[in-house]
Amino acid sequence: MNVLTKPEVIGSIEEMRSRLTDARSRNVSERVERGEAGLGRPRIVLVPTMGALHAGHLTLVRRARSLGDIVVVSIFVNPLQFGVGEDLGSYPRTLEADVAALAVEGVPFVFAPTNQVMYPDGAASTRVSAGSVGSLLEGAARPGHFDGMLTVVAKLFNIVGPDVAVFGQKDAQQVFLIERMLADLDFRTRIEVVPIVREDGGLALSSRNRALEPAQRAAARALSAGLEAAASVAGQGAEATLQAAHAWIDAQPLVKLDYLVVVDPLTFLPVGALHHGPARMLVAALVGHTRLIDNVALNLP
């Protein structure tokens, strides 16, 4: 029988840092004992999350384990990235179940700070600015969201000091902006991006899917079906991909489309008529009160 070791759930910044210092030296001694010295310093891998973990998050955790020696999963519903009237209050919080799921994955550390620990003055007065791409698409619908997201990612990187951090491709604009922040601000951490994990039927897994009623969940499948249809006609150009996706999404009255665009992965701006090569189609929609996003890679001729 597999004996599960529960992860240590840590709430304070000082404790997180000192536990990692200890874990690093323990890891070195263990490797020396096994005759594996000389492999370089132990690598810390961070998986930042807002909890309410699902199989998508656990895929990130498994990738993290394969990338380093000490895995830290952070669970923090970051108030800075929620706007007025958004779902900060109702965002699912399931810490006990999350920790149990991470025990099964063999994660040693969960960093789960309170708002008070992360923002002792109420809100960070110094914030990272996501720049102009930060106010497009998700940023247009959620003003300030990406500044808040980058600020907490920078804080988590400074607290944990990861060699690698793992993110999901589901949040494509988030990945773009984090990669740019790391380059612009000369962070040492590199990021690893995991493909979107979907349920049977195609809907991208999301903590927010819990809020969907059965009819809404069925309607929401039009998003992934539309993206899949788009990818299958990518050889005919961007316009054809948009038409193919619209055909699926516009047929679902429960799905209120916010945006459906094809962007250049290098700039995150909508592609022009002459664009060819790699591109990404992005979609966002409201299903009931639930905001859903999804995306797919395209190769345009």
Residues that bind ligand AMP (CB under 6 A): 49-50, 56-57, 60, 167-168, 170-171, 194, 196-197, 204-207
- Least distance in angstroms from the C-beta of 111 to ligand AMP: 13
Q: How far apart are CA 178 and CA 191, in angstroms?
A: 8
Q: Provide DSSP, 17-56.
A: HHHHHHHHHHHHHHHHHTT-TTS-SPPEEEEEE-SS--HH
Q: Which is nearer to ligand AMP, 237 or 265 (CB)?
A: 265
- Least distance in angstroms from the C-beta of 125 to ligand AMP: 24
* Active-site pick, 57, 275, 276, 289: 57
Q: How far apart are CA 254 and CA 261, in angstroms?
A: 20
Buried b (16+ CB within 10 A) or exposed e, 145-184: bbbbbbbbbbbbbebbbbbbbbbbbbbbbbbbbbebbbee
Q: Which is nearer to ligand AMP, 163 or 171 (CB)?
A: 171
Q: Which is nearer to ligand AMP, 146 or 167 (CB)?
A: 167
Q: How far apart are CA 266 and CA 166, in angstroms?
A: 20
Q: Give helix 172-184 / helix 145-160 axis angle, nearest 10°.
A: 60
Distance (Å) of CA 75 to CA 52, 147, 301: 9, 19, 41
Q: Which is nearer to ligand AMP, 179 or 233 (CB)?
A: 179
- Least distance in angstroms from the C-beta of 256 to ligand AMP: 21
- Least distance in angstroms from the C-beta of 10 to ligand AMP: 18
Q: Indicate the residue whose CB is closest to ligand AMP.
A: 168
Q: Which is nearer to ligand AMP, 102 or 197 (CB)?
A: 197
Q: Retrieve residue 153's tokens.
A: 């990612």
- Least distance in angstroms from the C-beta of 194 to ligand AMP: 5
Q: How far apart are CA 130 and CA 266, in angstroms?
A: 16
Active site annotation includes 145: no
Tell me which residues are annotated as active site: 57
